[in-house]
Structure 1
Amino acid sequence: MSKRLLFTLGTLLLLSTAATAQDHINPEDRMVDMDSPTFVPMVHIGKAKVGADSIQYVKTNKIYVFPPLEFKNKAQETAYYRLVYNIKKVLPIAKECNQIILETGAYLETIPTKKERDEHMKKVEKEIWNTYKPRMKKLTFTQGKLLIKLIDRECNSTSYELVQAFLGPVRAGFYQAFAWAFGSSLKKRYEPNGADRLVERIVLQVEAGQL
């Protein structure tokens, strides 16, 4: 597994403005329990007014029902559970990235001049290398490639587009060249109805607390 490629994956989260809090456990440091849900199922209790009456209701996660999977052999079954494991490992990171993007984008809008924004993003990029490089080194090559796609799913933008938007086309091209040299691409799109159909099925179940 190439360290240079993993370093490149660190740029996927280059929109943070603060280091991780000391009491925060990063997703990649958590043990993946295949028998427990990655996300806690949501239960919301409220009241709705109907005419003169108030009716209490309970809102829960969506429940997904899919046809049972049929494995041709043990190797195929093992590959499926490895995919589940990897998704449970990196999906929280992709969601973290989306939240950081929203917060950082809102903050950049408060900076009045382009020069100040550029100076701020240079500081952000340096901080990201220091904060996220060791985090991304903990991921396997397969998990890194999966993370690239899940970031597209969560952010509705490829990792390349995110780097380009915040650091410009030159820097985006630089990071893409590194990824390409090691068999990956920051331009990878997530295809929930195509190549990533099985991934989407698992993601929906993980989000709903069913896996």
Structure 2
Amino acid sequence: MKRKIILCFSALITLLTTIGAQEHLNPEDRAVDMDSPTFVPMVHIGKAKVNGDSVQYVRTNNIYVFPPMEFKDAKQREAYNRLVYNIKKVLPMAKECNQIILETYAYLQTLPTKKERDEHMKRVEHGIKEQYTPRVKKLTYSQGKLLIKLIDRETHSTGYELIQAFLGPIRAGVYQAFAWMFGASLKKRYDPKGSDRLVERIVLQVEAGQL
């Protein structure tokens, strides 16, 4: 878990300090289509034995049903649509970060010595900085703050925990103060049942291919 936290740190710190060819596009470079799903809904077709007979079945994504959104005015509706847009923009990027962490963590387990693991970690850190610095510069401030939240959702680690694991408590305090100046907190957890309830509702629908 600690190595997972360390691997995610570089992407997070780059985000905090820089926010404000068709065959392969980074997720954040793809045009957001508000009328089409961001993720393709999963459909799995298989067979199961039932009383000696082979029965075909189809398994799909979960389907989430929520009460219809009610808006007091056009401004509130616009804010909701903007949140949906931003989530569709940065959620694939947050999932990509988590996948990189998982794959790198698995590879670290194959290295026999601490020296080899440390050297590989340095290469990973350099690669993350090199890859993500130009990418996060393209995000708006709101999208950057949202990405920090969604990385926490995917990795189950707060920004403060990431920095503390990599640079220690003093530097973590410095970056916490930096984030506080911009109205954010690295210690605040993603709260899907509280302050982030609407974000979680949209994320679930986007993941399921409903938005």
TM-score bin, normalised by smaller chain: 0.7 to 0.9
Q: Relative to structure 2, which stretch is displaced further, 119-128 or 73-82?
A: 119-128
Alpha-carbon spacing, 1:198–1:110, altered in 2? closer, same or farther (3 Å): same
Q: Which runs of 5+ in 1 are unaligned?
A: 1-8, 15-20
Deviation of 1:62 (Å): 1.2
In the other structure, the counterpart of 1:146 is 146
Q: Relative to structure 2, which stretch is displaced further, 118-127 or 178-187?
A: 178-187
In the other structure, the counterpart of 1:83 is 83
Does the residue aligned with 2:200 lie in a helix, a strand or coil?
A: helix
Does the residue aligned with 2:120 lie in a helix, a strand or coil?
A: helix
For residues 168-192 of structure 1, give each alpha carbon's deviation from its aligned partner in whole angstroms, at most 9, with x where no partner exists: 5269626545444443333331101
Does the residue aligned with 2:46 lie in a helix, a strand or coil?
A: strand
Matched-pair contact (CA < 8 Å) for 2:10–2:125: no
In the other structure, the counterpart of 1:115 is 115
Q: TM-score, normalised by structure 1?
A: 0.83
In the other structure, the counterpart of 1:169 is 168
What one-letter code is carried by the residue in structure 2 that aligns with 1:47?
Answer: K
Alpha-carbon spacing, 1:131–1:177, altered in 2? closer, same or farther (3 Å): farther
Query: Aligned runs of 1:121-160 on 2, under 5 Å?
Result: 121-160=121-160
Instruction: Give the distance between the partners of 1:87 and 1:93, measured in 2 at CA.
Output: 10
Q: Relative to structure 2, which stretch is displaced further, 153-162 or 68-77?
A: 153-162
In the other structure, the counterpart of 1:36 is 36
Matched-pair contact (CA < 8 Å) for 2:152–2:190: yes
Matched-pair contact (CA < 8 Å) for 1:13–1:128: no
What one-letter code is carried by the residue in structure 2 that aligns with 1:169?
Answer: G
Does the residue aligned with 2:59 lie in a helix, a strand or coil?
A: strand
Q: Which runs of 5+ in 2 are unaligned?
A: 1-8, 15-20
Deviation of 1:131 (Å): 1.1
In the other structure, the counterpart of 1:4 is none
Deviation of 1:141 (Å): 0.7
In the other structure, the counterpart of 1:18 is none
Q: Percent identity?
A: 74
Instruction: Give the distance between the partners of 1:80 and 1:88, measured in 2 at CA.
Output: 12
Deviation of 1:100 (Å): 0.8
Instruction: Give the distance between the partners of 1:171 and 1:106, measured in 2 at CA.
Output: 30
Deviation of 1:11 (Å): 2.1
Matched-pair contact (CA < 8 Å) for 1:163–1:171: no
Deviation of 1:152 (Å): 1.3
Q: TM-score, normalised by structure 2?
A: 0.83
Q: Relative to structure 2, which stretch is displaced further, 80-89 or 170-179?
A: 170-179
Deviation of 1:134 (Å): 0.1
Matched-pair contact (CA < 8 Å) for 2:64–2:205: yes
Instruction: Give the distance between the partners of 1:113 and 1:188, measured in 2 at CA.
Output: 36
What one-letter code is carried by the residue in structure 1 that aligns with 2:62?
Answer: K
Deviation of 1:161 (Å): 2.8
Query: Aligned runs of 1:1-211 on 2, under 5 Å?
Result: 11-12=11-12, 23-165=23-165, 167-169=166-168, 173=172, 175-176=175-176, 178-211=178-211
Alignment coverage as a number of residue pairs: 196
Alpha-carbon spacing, 1:177–1:89, altered in 2? closer, same or farther (3 Å): same
Matched-pair contact (CA < 8 Å) for 1:38–1:209: yes
Instruction: Give the distance between the partners of 2:148 and 2:44, measured in 1 at CA.
Output: 32
RMSD of aligned C-alpha atoms? Answer: 2.5
